[in-house]
């Protein structure tokens, strides 16, 4: 018993480690897909790792007036992202970390990271930092209710807010065509795109001052600090991807801890994330970036979809 408990914790740690080490690879895959869609020769899939290595080797430059908050924020942001990576079931559901935290905790981890990055952005007192922070807060105040509403739709179906139990409930019932899940999935995808700073809300590949949100907040960071924040951002993208992949297409995830099931689980999640990355690349290629003042419309549409998901659950699926 003692040994199996230890083994379970070891597996949970291994799963978290797998998620955070694969996160840059997912970004590399998305970039490669986008480059191919644009008829460019893609950069190597390992390029994000090389960038991170470069950042970690470089010297850190901190502004004169910056307080401890500015130095602490990269570690806090990466720390909360690693914690949220631990909460999300990547390969297996039956792990001790899943029982600790549920999806509301996951949302608050994201909120905590956002709170500290906004504070740190304003800490140095530059114009860009404040601007980026205020934009980020505006967008997140609209994105968070949409995300919670989408997640509550799932929770109402499975009668739990725990992610692992939700996935096990869905696997237990096999393929059920639920109208609420279609809306919740679309709503959650739109929120994920807005929260991870992708097109049409933010453009991850430019530093155009009129439009940037996330980049404006981290403009003052350099060297190791920038590397930590970039990595945290990649983990966030990965966490959202895993959340969408495993909640709406749960098949393949390991419910028992046998080597075969775990192997299938790893292959399944890699396949699902590759497909999701391709979908994201196509989506970003076909859309143009929205004006900032149109972003609330986009997010209120996401909220409407999540709300419709909840309504169709109540109206159609029960009673």
Partner 1 sequence: MNIVNLSHYEQAIFVLSALVLYTSFSMLAQSRLFNLINVFAWQGTLLGMTAALVAFISNQPHLYISALLTLVLKAWLIPWMLRKQVMRLKLQREIETLATPTLTSLAGVGLVIFSYYIALPIKSLSNSITRNTISESLAIVLLAMLLIITRRQAVSQVVGFMAIENGLFFAALVSTYGMPMIVELGIAFDVLVAAVLFGVFFFEMRSSIDSLDVDQMNRLHEVDKR
Q: For binding to partner 1 (CB under 8 A), which residues are involved?
A: 173, 175-180, 182-183, 296-297, 300-301, 304, 307-308, 311-312, 314-319
Output the smallest distance, CB 157 to partner 1, in A: 9
Do the beta carbons of residue 140 and residue 296 sit within 8 Å?
no
Nearer to partner 1, 184 or 228 (CB): 184
Nearer to partner 1, 97 or 155 (CB): 155
Tallying the residues shown for the chain, one arrives at: 319
CA distance 279 to 282: 5
Output the smallest distance, CB 42 to partner 1, in A: 35
Output the smallest distance, CB 169 to partner 1, in A: 10
Output the smallest distance, CB 135 to partner 1, in A: 19
Nearer to partner 1, 191 or 216 (CB): 191
Nearer to partner 1, 199 or 307 (CB): 307
Do the beta carbons of residue 139 and residue 196 sit within 8 Å?
no
Nearer to partner 1, 128 or 183 (CB): 183
Tokens of 209: 């001052």
Helix and strand totals (H; E) in the chain: 12, 0
DSSP 3-state assignment of 61? coil
Q: Is the dihedral of CA 155, 159, 160, 165 positive or negative?
A: negative
CA distance 55 to 194: 26
Nearest by Cα to 224 from 33, 39, 83, 55: 55
Nearer to partner 1, 105 or 311 (CB): 311
Cis peptide before 200 (omega within 30 of 0): yes
Please name the residues in contact with 175: beta carbons below 8 A apart, sequence gap of 6 or more: none
Output the smallest distance, CB 301 to partner 1, in A: 8
Cis peptide before 303 (omega within 30 of 0): no
Output the smallest distance, CB 303 to partner 1, in A: 9
Please, how many CA atoms are within 13 Å of residue 50, restricted to the half-sphere of its CB?
A: 6
Nearest by Cα to 87 from 151, 180, 140, 2: 151
List 92's β-bridge partners, or say none: 254
Nearer to partner 1, 51 or 317 (CB): 317
Output the smallest distance, CB 186 to partner 1, in A: 10
Nearer to partner 1, 42 or 296 (CB): 296
Output the smallest distance, CB 114 to partner 1, in A: 23
Dihedral, CA atoms, 7, 8, 12, 13, nearest 10 degrees? -30
């Amino acid at each position: 018993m003692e040994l199996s408990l230890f083994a379970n914790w070891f597996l949970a740690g291994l799963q978290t480690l797998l998620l955070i080490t694969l996160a840059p690879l997912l970004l590399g895959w998305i970039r490669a897909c986008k480059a191919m869609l644009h008829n460019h020769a893609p950069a190597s899939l390992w390029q994000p790792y090389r960038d991170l290595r470069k950042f970690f080797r470089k010297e850190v430059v901190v502004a004169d007036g910056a307080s401890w908050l500015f130095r602490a924020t990269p570690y806090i942001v990466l720390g909360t992202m690693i914690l949220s990576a631990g909460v999300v079931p990547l390969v297996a559901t039956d792990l001790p970390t899943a029982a600790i935290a549920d999806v509301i905790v996951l949302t608050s981890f994201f909120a905590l990271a956002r709170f500290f990055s906004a504070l740190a952005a304003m800490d140095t007192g530059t114009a860009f930092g404040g601007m980026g922070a205020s934009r980020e807060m505006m967008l997140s105040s609209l994105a968070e209710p949409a995300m919670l509403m989408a997640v509550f739709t799932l929770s109402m179906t499975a009668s739990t807010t725990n992610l692992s139990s939700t996935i096990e409930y869905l696997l237990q019932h096999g393929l059920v065509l639920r109208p609420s899940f279609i809306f919740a999935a679309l709503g959650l995808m739109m929120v994920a795109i807005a929260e991870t700073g992708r097109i049409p809300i933010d453009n991850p590949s430019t530093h155009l001052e009129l439009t940037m949100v996330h980049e404006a907040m981290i403009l003052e960071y350099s060297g190791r600090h920038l590397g930590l924040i970039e990595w945290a951002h990649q983990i966030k993208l990965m966490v959202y991807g895993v959340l969408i992949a495993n909640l709406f297409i749960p098949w393949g995830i390991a419910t028992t801890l046998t080597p075969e099931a775990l192997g299938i689980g790893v292959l399944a999640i890699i396949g699902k994330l590759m497909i999701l990355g391709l979908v994201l690349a196509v989506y970003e290629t076909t859309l143009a970036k929205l004006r900032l003042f149109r972003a609330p419309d986009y997010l209120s549409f996401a909220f409407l979809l999540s709300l419709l998901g909840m309504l169709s659950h109540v109206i159609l699926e029960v009673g």
